[in-house]
Amino acid sequence: MKTTLDPSLDETSRTPADVRKIFEKVWRELQARESAEPDSDLSRSKVWLECDGGLVEIGSVQTLAIREPVPGVEFVDYVCPHCNQSHESLRFR
């Protein structure tokens, strides 16, 4: 699987339909991995809800992206189930 850092990917030639297909494939692969490994570290992770300050399981939110700006620190971009807005949180294990 190619990553977004792969120089052979030319983002400027992608159409919205191409990008949507790429994301759908990524999410299918992630869901398959989580289903195969229900006790994996990702399935036990939590995110902080900005709206009410609570911690919820990462599986209960629509995850948009997970990024690791430095080793050992992960940020999760997700859609909040309370306000339906996009938020960012550290990933808590």
Please state the three-class secondary structure of the chain as a single string: CCCCCCCCCCHHHCCHHHHHHHHHHHHHHHHHHHHHCCCCCCCCCEEECCCCCCEEEHHHCEEEEEEEEECCEEEEEEECCCCCCEEEEECEC
Q: What are phi and psi of 36, to 5 degrees?
A: -70, -30
Structure tokens at 81: 């189930």
Residue 11: what pLDDT? 57
C-beta of residue 78 within 8 angstroms of C-beta of residue 63? yes
- pLDDT (tens, 9 = 90+) of the chain, 93 residues, equals 555 556 665 556 667 777 788 878 877 777 766 665 544 555 568 888 888 888 888 888 888 888 888 888 888 899 988 888 998 988 877
Q: How many CB atoms sit inside 10 A of residue 86's CB?
A: 12
Q: Where are the domains of the chain?
A: 14-43, 45-93
Q: Which of 62, 57, 59 is nearest to 87 (CA)?
A: 62
What is the structure's pLDDT at 72?
81
pLDDT at 22: 81
The model's pTM is: 0.50
